[in-house]
Amino acid sequence: MSKPKVILFDAVGTLFGVKGSVGEVYSAIAQEFGVQVEPKLLDQAFHDTFKKTVPLAFPGAKWVEIPEKEYNWWQAIAKATFAQAGVLEDFQDFPAFFNRLYGYFATPDPWEIYPDILPSLEKWRYERIELGIISNFDSRIHSVLDGLDLKKFFQSITISSSCGVAKPNPKIFTKALEKHQCSPSQAWFIGDSLENDYRGAKAAGLRPFLLQR
């Protein structure tokens, strides 16, 4: 197997993940606002809602509009999650709760780096392979990567919310490769989603690797 010029990665579920579960985080912060709900119930509701939601991408949006659009996209998911769990009406001030929740996920506190990641990134950096990220995430990824001390490894970060297209669309892979002036045949992509990562990268001509956590 020839050494690639560039290795691109998915972010959440590949490089780092939520400590415990999304439901546990949602439940703990809801409790701060006087709302009691089982973490498992919230976790299932979140994943059900997330699967049904359109991708986090805003074609044609102006750069200055994107932060508000990201915020509203996630707030809709949070509302639907708590509605499915049957406790949405228990909040006296849901916007205040969501503002706290959204800000918390911009910090490193709810996240953990998988144990195989740092040795791998160090090895590839030592071998002078360019590294980048392609993620269906929002602009908070920059503060999360900073907080986890991961940003130093990556020469590029390409996110769906700012480039107007989401994985598995091949265009997001092309946009990322342009930053490295790299052809698809010279690049690998590592991710944990069969559809978004493996099949998306393969369709774009990259060598895909499916990571099964």
Nearby residues of 34 by Cβ (< 8 Å), 6 or more positions away: 90, 92
What CATH number is attached to the domain comprising 204?
3.40.50.1000
**Which of 49, 76, 104 is the last residue before a domain boundary?**
104
- State residue 2's pLDDT score: 83
My answer on whether 154 and 191 are in the same domain is yes
Q: Residue 106 in contact with residue 144, Cβ under 8 Å?
A: yes
Domain range enclosing 92:
20-104
Q: How far apart are CA 58 and CA 61, in angstroms?
A: 6
**126 and 192 share one domain:** yes
- Whether residue 77 sits in one domain with residue 42: yes
pLDDT tens string 111-134: 999 999 999 999 999 999 999 999
Decide which of 104, 124, 157 is a domain's last residue.
104
Residue 141 domain-assigned? Answer: yes
Dihedral of CA 98/67/76/164: which sign?
Answer: negative
Same domain, 24 and 67: yes
DSSP conformation letters of 4-69: PSEEEE--BTTTEEESS-HHHHHHHHHHHTT----HHHHHHHHHHHHHHSPPS--TT--GGGHHHH
The Cα 173–Cα 44 span in angstroms is 30
Q: How high is the pLDDT of residue 1?
A: 63
pLDDT value of residue 141: 98
Q: Are residues 48 and 137 in the same domain?
A: no
Query: What is the maximal distance between C-alpha atoms in the chain?
Result: 58
Q: Give the chain's residues under pLDDT 70.
A: 1
pTM recorded for the entire structure: 0.94
pLDDT at 213: 87
- Domain-embedded: residue 1: no
Distance CA 140, CA 61 (A): 18
Comparing CA positions, the residue from 116, 151, 159, 118 lying closest to residue 10 is 159
For position 50, what pLDDT does the model report?
Answer: 96
CA-based nearest residue to 188, from 1, 4, 2: 4
Same domain, 117 and 158: yes
Domain boundary at 104, 133, 167, which? 104
Count how many domains the chain has. Answer: 2
Phi, then psi, of 17 in degrees rounded to 5: -145, 175
Is the CA virtual torsion 176, 177, 180, 185 positive or negative?
positive
